Structure 1
Amino acid sequence: MDKQRLPRWGWLLVGLFLAALIANLLNWLVVLPSGLPEAYRSITVIATMSPVLIYVGVWYDADKQHYWTHSRVRIVGDMLFVVAGATLGSAITLVAIVGFGLTGFLQDVLAMAGGFLLSWGLFWWRNPDLYSVDAER
């Protein structure tokens, strides 16, 4: 994949679109038949989009290329941390707010915030060296 073909926001948009398609397919095949309320279907969307949000920056930024020298097992472990953090963070947030009578849009936004913050926090916890250069600037 050629980084110069699209700007960073273009790769992010393509990745988020593909993640949304995968999440909706998972919702249709797994979540819908399980009988979970509609509010919880956003968890799969958040869980599939969180790796895109984190890894597009790591892939695209020149100063973060040293991350890819880690073993594949470590990278897969990081990806699992990101997905688990997004799933757990968004689920905890939804469980806490689903009975407050908020609109579906506001519930989704708050769940995204909780999921993305926990997933990025877990990624940062496992890779603090990626962001230490940014703090020195």
Structure 2
Amino acid sequence: MNKERLPRWGWLLVGLFLAALIANLLNLIVLVPTVFPEAYRSITVITTMSPVLIYVGIWYDEERQSYWEHSRARIVGDVLFVVAGAALGSAITLAVIVDLGLSAFLQDILAMATGFLLAWGLFWWRNPDMYSVQTDQ
């Protein structure tokens, strides 16, 4: 894939659209009819979108290309941490607020914020050197 074909926000938009499409298909075909109540449908969307938010920036930014030199097992572990963090963060938030009478839109926004923050926090915890400020002294 050519990075120059689209700006960073374009790749992010394409990735988020595909992640939402996959999550909604998963919800429609597998999870909602068998497992999830409809109030928790956004958990899968948040979970599939979180790696896109983190990894598009790492893939696109030249100063973060050293990340791809890690072993495949390390990268897979990072992705699993991101996915688990997003799922846990959004699920816990929805479990707490689903019966408070908030609108579904507000519930989804709060779940997204918590899920994405926990996912990024776990990624940062495993890779603190990627976001450290380098000073020349």
Coarse TM-score class (shorter-chain normalised): over 0.9
User: CA offsets per residue over residues 75-104 of structure 1, 9 Å max, x none?
Assistant: 011000000000000000000100100000
Question: Secondary structure in 1 aligned to 2:33?
Answer: helix
RMSD, aligned CA: 1.3
1:19 and 2:19 are equivalent in the alignment:
yes
Q: Distance between the aligned counterparts of 2:129 and 2:36, measured in 1? A: 39
Q: Distance between the aligned counterparts of 2:47 and 2:119, measured in 1? A: 9
Aligned to 1:94: 94
* Runs of 4+ that moved beyond 6 A: none
Aligned to 1:28: 28
User: CA offsets per residue over residues 28-71 of structure 1, 9 Å max, x none?
Assistant: 12211224221100000000000000000011011101000001
- Scaled by the length of structure 1, the TM-score of the pair is 0.96
The Cα of 1:133 is off from its aligned counterpart by: 2.9
Decide which structure has greater helix share. Answer: 1
Aligned to 2:108: 108
Uncovered stretches (5+) of structure 1, i.e. residues with no partner: none
Instruction: Count matched residues.
Output: 136
Q: Distance between the aligned counterparts of 1:12 and 1:92, measured in 2? A: 26
User: CA offsets per residue over residues 108-134 of structure 1, 9 Å max, x none?
Assistant: 000000100000000000000100137
Uncovered stretches (5+) of structure 2, i.e. residues with no partner: none
Q: Percent identity?
A: 76
